[in-house]
Amino acid sequence: MNPRVKQVSASSDYKLHLEFTSGERGIYDCLPLLDFGVFRELKDIGYFKQVQAVDGTVVWPHEQDICPDTLYLDSVRQVEQGAPADARSSRG
């Protein structure tokens, strides 16, 4: 099982900054989702920034959510400064 979302924050460019239960950090780009079904509401940046981490995934007030496995597998990993070079990959 992949790690789950522990914390989330949203940026003005429709990216989610994630911290996973494994301690890893990643960025997930929501821009490609914004023209599909229930995700269209996320185009309102004020609404987009209401994202919360709940039960290991991300959710918005009107019950939009993204699969936690998708968030983990498709996010670009952020490496802390000072980490070994071989740990600097875009996928964990």
- For each of the domains in the chain, give its residue range(s) and CATH number, in order of start: 5-79 (3.30.2020.10)
| pLDDT at 89 > cutoff 50 | no
Mean pLDDT check: name the lowest of 43-47, 50-54, 68-72, 84-88: 84-88
What residue has token string 């007030």? 61
| pLDDT for residue 92 | 42
Mean pLDDT of all residues in 41-68: 98
Burial class (CB in 10 A: 0-12, 13-18, 19+), 35: exposed
| pLDDT for residue 83 | 53
Distance CA 71, CA 58 (A): 9
| pLDDT for residue 20 | 98
Residue percentage of the chain with pLDDT more than 90:
84
pTM of the model: 0.85
